[in-house]
Structure 1
């Protein structure tokens, strides 16, 4: 036994650390030898010192006796509290050699370096997408769970990510700082401008798996798919006709208003829609895009070709109520009816 308290005569031959008791030195040597005789009965983790095991057990019991005086956050171990306090000190001594970003803790710097290395340890079990950080994966999982905790105070639209909500809020400010160099159209967000530029570049990433038609926007493809599904959710309040797209309904409503602002410069005929005028101009130009694959006859309008195909198919849907004779075209039936009324204008 040592005669004088506090005298450390037992020195470690490996690291030079000194102890007052020989027993403490023996236990200390287990660290260098890698001997861990103290096991956690809950998770099985092993420790070289009994004291370390006792501090570890606090994690399982949930006891958090070490509180931060600044923010009140509690920790199970004093060491964890010390690491946490660095955040409040604002000291960032751990710098990234690649981008120069500084961190308060070494562990944060290590996780950051995974970004530069392209290392993604955290994988989504639903879609297989991988992430560099656990927190990012957790936020990603909210998408699959349909969790939207970030709501817009203006319109009520909800988002899974705080960042998405911030981008959305720009819409309500009305500020459009992102301008297209081609047509000068302005946008609230850079992402919207990028998608818009695909139109000028003719880029169409979204292809219909049914008919192969491609679109520049995902939303346009979704609307297009309603055509194949036969979904018509946009109904005319006047005549009840239904449409797959709201834009088609808006164009249709011009028929009921009777407004015809699109006039032919050649014959003066007016139309409610621009596309109707364009098809009409084909008549004057003698353009016939629609050709019959049976006889080769060409037509300016697709509808005329359809009517013509009834002749080859032998389809006669227009029947005389008097004698029962059938015709492929309504016009032929009308001329036929003159016979029954005694009209002899048609030779």
Structure 2
């Protein structure tokens, strides 16, 4: 005798309903329909926030046992479902399916506000929350809000200084695996994202996006103190640190403070004499790549920042700004010893070296020392007999550009330096000093032959020539 399954059996009916797409069990809260009643009941548990399955490792709770099991597999590192395209493995078949949708470029979830499309529904939901300004998860430390709990948890890791991903090459650690991976790509020289405008390549798409913002002149981060605007938030943060005087990173060698660890690292390379960036034209080497770039601009005579007052051109904008301070006679840095003021702090520091008699720049030929490197360079040109600067008026050759300027002032009758004793006007500061020595009777230059003393070295030289002629 043959037996047949009754067509009105419960399981058979369910199979027929499922194939026909019949969903008789509807949720009164969201309107979603289901084939089976027990599936609707589980769905209602989700609405009611009923999560009976809690993870002992991280405390996360789930409404369904299936999702809880997948979560435990994640903790255990179980990844049985591997992608045939990129090799990435997943704990569940559904996660692999979503991943494959990304490879295929499937974007079925479109935002009705801005039109942006997403592969996954959860990403669209987060995106819509941003549009509506919904941020359910708030950080108790800094007050920053997030649309998703897991993003808040990652953010809290940053506050706690938790950095589990450490680079074996340089020792730098990261709180997130994605940033760690990008860092490793940087070491490996992976730059898959290229700028269509200038050709510069980047390790990540986000870095390329920030770079394109710079090309577009996007400056969304504005300083409320001085009004200066920035393309990147990190630059804006550093700028605010300058206003508040925050300098977290201090040099152990010279004590100079820096706003970022990267700047301190570059500064320490200077102390160590590391100069990895060499000029292909003249061979000069630099500690920082940015300094080499400026140097190459000098070779190419690229000076895009022009002063509207005197027409002088500069390589960098900040150099022009300093120059404009000079025109405006803005001198905020005053010497407590002599009262002289300067436009820049580093010029004041050099000036104080002169007061303190600090002369770190010594000539290897004659042993003469100078407080400033520029003075040593001029002195070395004298030894080498370098006279590249010729006066167009009298055709006299001058040893330096600076000396040529004073010489031309003399031709033009420029007398900015006045003697406080007799009122005589002098063209250069050095000549005024000699003139004041004459008033004071200072005779530092003495003849070794006859003992006669002179105010100026040039007068002593003339005197010695006369001695030499008398002996012939």
Band the TM-score falls in, shorter-chain normalisation: 0.3 to 0.5
Q: TM-score, normalised on structure 2?
A: 0.36
- Greater Cα radius of gyration, structure 1 or 2: 1
Q: Which has the higher contact order (CA 8 A, sep 6+)?
A: 1
